[in-house]
Amino acid sequence: MEGKNGAREVFLDGEAWFDVKKNYEKHFIVHTPFYTINVTGTQFNVKAYESDKTVATTLEKGQIIIQSAESLSLDEDIRIKPGEQVIFDKESKELTIKDVDTKLITSWKDNKLVFVNMSLRELVVLLERKYGVEIEVKNTELLDLHFDGTIKNESIIEFLDIIQYTLPVNYKIVGQKIEITNKN
């Protein structure tokens, strides 16, 4: 979409990986409901789901600039370097920057998901989005269990079998829903 001054603009609600070529005559701008990303030619990932508590932008190559938007007022623009991730907490309105392994964040674009020490709470959301299923965890204490793994081409059943083998959980399919319970 072309905006004012010939800028190329995208409005994002969800997750996307961008590979943007430099074009000094036409800026590339990504608008999330929380902040704006001014792109100078780069590779980066933006995770901005309305239902998530945070918005995360991860830079692989190049440079991006985080700018104020409706939900975030910054004293000045923030320049992000490769290997950095910006996390905006929607509730506290706090913005933090940390160093990350970008391959763990952007592997989904290659139809692969890699996670390290991910809680079952976060994993359920990821699986629901990837496979388009509904998952209910019957015992809330299970949500704090952590898991390391990779999803490449596994079906949801194959992946649930791995989780069931690795963690003290069972799963069963009830109608259109997957239920996860304690292993007895």
pLDDT in tens, 19-41: 777 776 777 888 888 888 888 77
Which pLDDT belongs to residue 54? 87
Angstrom distance (rounded) from CA 30 to CA 136: 33
Domain ranges of the chain: 4-100, 111-182
pTM of the predicted protein model: 0.61
Angstrom distance (rounded) from CA 89 to CA 79: 18
Distance of CA 171 to the CA centre of its chain: 25
Q: What topology is assigned to 111-182 in CATH?
A: Phage tail protein beta-alpha-beta fold (3.55.50)
3-state secondary structure at position 9: strand
Phi-psi region of 106 (alpha: psi -120 to 50; beta: other; left: phi over 0): alpha
| Beta partners for residue 170, in sequence order | 181
Under CATH, which number does the domain 4-100 receive? 2.60.120.1440
